[in-house]
Amino acid sequence: MGIQQNGREVDKWERFELMLKGPSGGNPFQEVQLSARFQYKNLIVEPEGFYDGDGTYRIRFMPDRTGVWRYVTRSNHSDLDGHSGEFVCVEPSSGNHGPVRVKDQYLFAYEDGTPYMPFGTTCYHWTHYNEQLEELTLQTLKGSPFNKVRMCLLPTQDMRPPLRLAFVGTNPEDIDKTRFNTDFFAHLEKRIDDLIQLGIEADLVLFHPYDKGYWGVDNMDAEADLFYLRYVIARLSAYRNVWWSLCNEYDFNKFKTVDDWDRLIQFVQHRDPYQHLRSIHNGTKMYKSSWLYDYSKPWITHQSIQHWDAELTTSWREATPKPIVIDEISYEGNSSRRWGNISGEEMTHRFWEAISRGGFVGHGESFIERETRAWISSGGKLYGESTERIAFLRKIMEEGPADWMKAWQLGTYGLLYFGHHQHAYKYVDLPENASYHIEIIDTWKMTITPVKGTFRGRSRVDLPGKSNIALRILKVSEANSAGGDQSEVN
């Protein structure tokens, strides 16, 4: 077939999409193979295409180099094979920093180098119910500090009946796991795009253990698992804000072994042309026991942990040199479940505890009998007291160095947190050859109060004798950029 001049300009890290018409008979999801070879100079990327219903096929591609990209399609069907063309990739628009990557072992940054700190929240099925609730969720997120949302693709046994399923069918009796519901995915993609506009990463939970055989999605066989993953990757991997979470509480799924999860994660690694962040989330018998996945395995990019004790961040950091995200650390709320009723003050404390030790935390909220259902399940409104305190913490972290742990080792910046302790004073060991300003942070009242004078060497700092207090330590030459000598900052 001849060259098709597309005539499009595509921003770097945006999506180029090729639409083709082809066969609709039989089961195109299973029977038709489609991919494209995209080439920029000597670089070749080969994403798979997918069937989008009504004889429509699509191939999506996320370019990461500016200049001319050329492509040619490959298919086992003549109508789809041999289509060729080109497009021009141009510099990204404002706010487009590319996908998030791991940086310097323990940190994250966008592909253009802009630092990224995950301040995530959990909202498992916010895209499964109704437009009004989804729009309310987006408005809530817009006014929140959260820049990552953890969300599920597959239904659970106990959720309200969803409007759409990932597979064709409306109930457990007629669900067809050999065909995908293209309306479900089109709707999901719209919401992923909405998150992009808000600067929020979509941490997509691909499997879970909560179905208990009701829909038959937690006990699919190996072939069905790969069929599902292949389609999801083909449709969604070109969205720059996607993360892959292979499973929530993987060890609670009794139908799969660790070897099965290893195989599935490696499949995602091999099929994803853009190498989005990948992890898997462990279960825990809250306040009793927890078994973590071996996050040192090479196909894992970061640690996605469920645990109630943020103090363990130090040992996790020492054990595995990868970023730590405690994606579930209990939820602020009033649920009767043991994981869903900590106070806003306790949630705030756990955020500070983990970050002061070099990790990150995900938020969750589970208030019942409110105007909207529990946030962790369906989104809507946030009612808790921790959200504004997390916003305060995020502002403090973004004012400081991207690697605050290294800065402390270098003697340029420090963030010390005393948690539940109520010190009247503390001694701080500072370098002798530099001067420092010290600020007292009340993490609950959200105040920053400078301590008079400058400090060097071993220094006594008088404290208010209450819990949830932190110190910010600024080398004098860096002090003006992070608050200076103001008497109090709200």
From the number of C-beta atoms within 10 Å of its C-beta (0-12, 13-18, 19+), residue 244 rates as buried
For the beta carbon of residue 326, count every other beta carbon within 10 angstroms: 26
Same domain, 298 and 273: yes
Compute the radius of gyration of the chain from its Cα atoms.
24
The pLDDT of residue 213 is 85
The yes-or-no verdict on residue 2 having pLDDT over 50 is no
Distances from the Cα of 209 to the Cαs of 157, 282, 377, in angstroms? 10, 11, 15
The arithmetic mean of pLDDT across residues 360-381, rounded, is 93
The pLDDT of residue 340 is 82
Instruction: Summarize pLDDT for 185-228 with one digit per residue, the tens.
Output: 999 999 999 999 999 999 999 999 998 888 999 899 999 999 99
The yes-or-no verdict on residue 488 having pLDDT over 60 is no
Question: What is the Cα 253 distance to its own chain's centre?
Answer: 22
Question: Could you tell me if 466 and 422 are in contact, meaning their C-beta atoms sit under 8 angstroms apart?
Answer: yes
Same domain, 80 and 189: no
Same domain, 161 and 283: yes
Question: Could you tell me if 245 and 280 are in contact, meaning their C-beta atoms sit under 8 angstroms apart?
Answer: yes
Q: What's the CATH number where 33 sits?
A: 2.60.40.10
Quickly state the pLDDT bin for 484 (edges 50, 70, 90).
Answer: very low
Domain assignment present for residue 162? The answer is yes
The pLDDT of residue 237 is 98
Q: What's the CATH number where 428 sits?
A: 2.60.40.3950
Pick from 172, 164, 181: which is nearest to 212 by CA? 172
Percent of the chain with pLDDT over 90: 87
The arithmetic mean of pLDDT across residues 96-121, rounded, is 98
The yes-or-no verdict on residue 36 having pLDDT over 60 is yes
The model carries a pTM of 0.94
Same domain, 78 and 158: no
Phi and psi (nearest 5°) for 477? -70, -20
Pick from 441, 400, 392: which is nearest to 144 by CA? 392
Instruction: Summarize pLDDT for 135-158 with one digit per residue, the tens.
Output: 999 999 999 999 999 999 999 988
Instruction: Summarize pLDDT for 409-458 with one digit per residue, the tens.
Output: 999 999 999 999 999 999 999 999 999 999 999 999 999 999 999 999 99
Spatial separation of the C-alpha atoms in residues 235 and 58, rounded to whole Å: 8
Spatial separation of the C-alpha atoms in residues 131 and 73, rounded to whole Å: 36
Domain assignment present for residue 447? The answer is yes
Higher pLDDT, 483 or 33: 33
Question: Could you tell me if 133 and 126 are in contact, meaning their C-beta atoms sit under 8 angstroms apart?
Answer: yes
Give the range of the structural domain holding residue 264, as residue numbers without chain letter.
100-399
Secondary structure (3-state) at 441 = strand
Q: What's the CATH number where 349 sits?
A: 3.20.20.80
Domain assignment present for residue 471? The answer is yes
Domain boundary among 90, 115, 137: 90
The pLDDT of residue 9 is 95
From the number of C-beta atoms within 10 Å of its C-beta (0-12, 13-18, 19+), residue 35 rates as middle
Domain assignment present for residue 177? The answer is yes
Domain boundary among 90, 109, 141: 90
Question: Could you tell me if 203 and 52 are in contact, meaning their C-beta atoms sit under 8 angstroms apart?
Answer: no
Secondary structure (3-state) at 226 = helix
Domain assignment present for residue 488? The answer is no
Same domain, 24 and 54: yes
Spatial separation of the C-alpha atoms in residues 461 and 456, rounded to whole Å: 11
What tokens were used for 91? 């510099």
67 Ramachandran zone, left/alpha/beta (phi>0; psi -120 to 50): left
Instruction: Summarize pLDDT for 262-317 with one digit per residue, the tens.
Output: 999 999 999 999 999 999 999 988 667 778 999 999 999 999 999 999 999 999 99
Biggest CA–CA distance in the chain, Å, is: 79
Same domain, 259 and 312: yes
The arithmetic mean of pLDDT across residues 336-349, rounded, is 92
The pLDDT of residue 287 is 64
The pLDDT of residue 171 is 87
The pLDDT of residue 124 is 96
Same domain, 339 and 326: yes
Percent of the chain with pLDDT over 70: 95
Domain boundary among 369, 399, 429: 399
* Total domains present in the chain: 3
Quickly state the pLDDT bin for 170 (edges 50, 70, 90).
Answer: confident
Question: Could you tell me if 77 and 23 are in contact, meaning their C-beta atoms sit under 8 angstroms apart?
Answer: yes
Same domain, 70 and 154: no
Instruction: Summarize pLDDT for 38-64 with one digit per residue, the tens.
Output: 999 999 999 999 999 999 999 999 999
Distances from the Cα of 259 to the Cαs of 132, 255, 256, 319, 484, in angstroms? 41, 12, 8, 22, 53
Domain assignment present for residue 490? The answer is no
Spatial separation of the C-alpha atoms in residues 376 and 366, rounded to whole Å: 6
Question: Could you tell me if 300 and 293 are in contact, meaning their C-beta atoms sit under 8 angstroms apart?
Answer: yes
Question: Could you tell me if 74 and 37 are in contact, meaning their C-beta atoms sit under 8 angstroms apart?
Answer: yes
The arithmetic mean of pLDDT across residues 21-37, rounded, is 98
Domain assignment present for residue 264? The answer is yes
For the beta carbon of residue 208, count every other beta carbon within 10 angstroms: 22
Same domain, 171 and 192: yes
The pLDDT of residue 338 is 83
Same domain, 438 and 473: yes
Domain assignment present for residue 121? The answer is yes
Same domain, 165 and 68: no
Angle at 52 between CA 49 and CA 56, to 5 degrees: 85
Same domain, 431 and 471: yes
